[in-house]
Structure 1
C-alpha cells in the first residue's frame, strides 16, 4: 500500500487538498446532501452546515495528527497501490452501523489540488475494494483525563483577550457589547463565570470536549439570564496544572465544534441546537 507523500507537510484545508465540486460536477452541497442521506439520521442544521463543518474539521485534525507525527498517513489517509485513489474515515456511520469513508481520486487536470472528491462510501462499496486496509477513525482520546473537568484545578483567564480582542468582542452576547463601562463588563462576566464554576462543581459533565487545532479543550456554558441555552461558551485548555481560558465562542460555534468529537447530549448543548440563533447562524 502507498501513502500520501510526507516530504512536505499536508495541507490542513480540505479544499486545498481536494477539488470538492462545483456546478459543473457534483457540487460540495450535493456531496454533503448525499452524505446526510447515507449517515445515521441526525439533524445537521439548515443547509447541513453542521455536517459540512464536521467533515472539514475532521480532515483538518487528521492532517494535524499526521504532520505532528502522532500517526502515519497510512493510518488515516491511505492510497491504493498505484496512488490513484485515497480515502479517510469520516467517523460517521450508517443506520446499519457501517463506517463511512470520504473517497478521492487523483486529479489528472492541471489544478492546485492533487485530488478530487468522488463521494462518500461504505466499506462494501466497489470503489474501496482496491484498498488493502481501510483507514482508522480519527482518535481524539489520547488522554482520558482531558475529557473530564477536574474541579480541583484552578482557572486562569486572559480577560484582556476575551473581552478586549476585536475577534472575541463580536462573539460576546449583546449585554456585554452594549455596556460601555469596562468595570461593569468585568463584573458581569466574572459574576457569570463564578456561577458557571458552581454548576460545574455540582456536575462536571456540563463541560463538553472539543478539538481545536489538534488539542483537546473543554467547553463550558456561561449564562447572563434565565434560559436553557447559554449566552456564551468558554473554551478551557488544560496546561501546567490549571485550566486556561483565552477565548469564548458563540453558542452556535460551540455546538459545531463539539460535534466533531461526538453528538452532544448535555441539555445546554441541545438547547443551543433548538434555538433560533443556531438556525440563523447556519444560513
Structure 2
C-alpha cells in the first residue's frame, strides 16, 4: 500500500491522509485534519480536505497508529511537565486508605465504579494539561520535583482534589495530595 509517516506526524495510506492538528475537542479528544485523494482528472490537486474529526470518526477507521501531535520543544510556562507521559494512578493506596478516601467528595465515595471514575478523571486532567499547561503546578517534596494536577470528579469545571504526580522513568505515579 501507499503508506507514509513523517516522524509519526502525518499519515498517508491508500486513499486517505491525516495529521494531528494539535487542537482538542471540549472532551479533550485530539482533532485530526482528514484528506482524500482527488480523483478529478482535470485538477492539479492530488488531495482535497475532507474535514476535521476525532479518533472515532469513520474517516480514521483504518488509520493505525494515529499520527502524533506535532512536538515543538519549548519551556511551557517554566514547567517541564510532559503531558504525553502516562499517569499510573495508585488507586489501591488512594481508596484503601481511610484518610485518602475522606478527600474524595462524600456523594461519590461509595459508588461501585469509583476506581474507574478516578482514573478517568485523571486521564481527562492529563489531556487538559496538554492544551492548558498552566493547570500543572510544580512543587518540591523531599528534595524531589513533583507536580500537582487538579482532578474534577463531580464537576467538569471545578476540581474536587489535587493529585500529586511523582516523576518516574517515562511516566508519572499519581497519589492524592495532602493539600
Within-5 A mapping of 1:204-219: 204-219=133-148
Alpha-carbon distance between aligned partners in 2 of 1:166 and 1:244, rounded to the nearest angstrom: 20
CA gap of 1:164–1:151, structure 2 versus 1, over 3 A, is same
Q: Is the 8 A contact 1:223 1:230 kept in 2?
A: yes
Q: Could you list the per-position Cα deviations for residues 143-202 of structure 1 after superposition, in whole angstroms to 9, with x for gaps in the alignment?
A: x9994210222222211011212231122222332x152xx1122212212221221121
Which has a greater percent of strand? Answer: 2
Corresponding pairs, count: 104
Distance 1:155 1:172 in 2: 19
- Counting only pairs closer than 5 Å after superposition, residues 150-169 of structure 1 correspond to structure 2 as 150-169=82-101
Q: Are 2:137 and 2:148, in contact at CA under 8 Å, matched by a contact in 1?
A: yes
Q: CA RMSD for the aligned pairs?
A: 2.5
Q: Give the match for residue 231 of structure 1.
A: 160
CA distance in 2, matches of 1:227, 1:199: 11
Matched with 2:51 is none
Look up the SS of the partner of 2:103 in the other structure: coil
For 1:160 and 1:224, the matched residues in 2 are separated by: 17
After superposition, the C-alpha distances for 1:32-83 in whole angstroms (9 at most, x for unaligned) are xxxxxxxxxxxxxxxxxxxxxxxxxxxxxxxxxxxxxxxxxxxxxxxxxxxx
Pick from 92, 111, 126 the counterpart of residue 197 of structure 1.
126
| Cα distance in 2 for residues equivalent to 1:211 and 1:201 | 22
Structure 1: gaps (5+ residues) = 1-143, 254-283
- What SS does structure 1 have at the residue aligned with 2:82? coil
**Structure with greater helix share of residues:** 1
